[in-house]
Amino acid sequence: MDFREGGYWHYAMVGPEGEEHWALANYKTIDPRRCFTALDGFADTEGVVNTEMLQSDWEISFTPKQEVTLVENLITFDDLAQLETTIQMGFKEGLTAAMENLDQLLAAQKQEA
């Protein structure tokens, strides 16, 4: 991961059967402790974006709320068909699992501190 404006994150989404689906997020803007934006799309194992597959714009924001931080994801697609295709591919379930894993990771780190 190269977390800076103009940097990128090349990652694999791993399904329940161990199958890998690679993606690349290109960071556009970063406002430390507030938000960042990125263009996210499917890629191969080498990080080459598949331009025939859909891409989405992400805005991730962080808002302090007493002793926790609210993380909000705003994901924008070019059209409704792209959103529907993404949902059919299991995006909702995958993102839900990722957020639950984040909750568990943060809880474990808090206990270690």
Is residue 39 situated within a structural domain? yes
Q: Is residue 3 part of a domain?
A: no
Q: For residue 41, what is the enclosing H or E element? A: strand 35-42
User: Is the residue at 90 inside a domain?
Assistant: yes
Distances (CA, A) of 86 to 38, 58, 67: 17, 14, 34
In a domain, 1, yes or no: no
CATH number at residue 76: 3.30.530.20
Answer whether residue 51 is part of any domain.
Answer: yes
Give the pLDDT band (50/70/90) at residue 9: very high
Q: Note whether residue 59 is domain-resident.
A: yes
| CA–CA separation, 62 and 66 (whole Å) | 13
What does the pLDDT look like over 41-75, one tens digit per residue? 999 999 999 988 889 999 999 999 998 889 999 99
Domain membership of residue 39 as a residue range:
8-112
| Domain count within the chain | 1
pTM of the model: 0.84
Does 68 reside within a domain?
yes
**Cβ distance 107 to 92 under 8 Å?**
no
- pLDDT > 70: percent of the chain: 99
Exposed / middle / buried, residue 25 (Cβ in 10 Å: 0-12, 13-18, 19+): buried
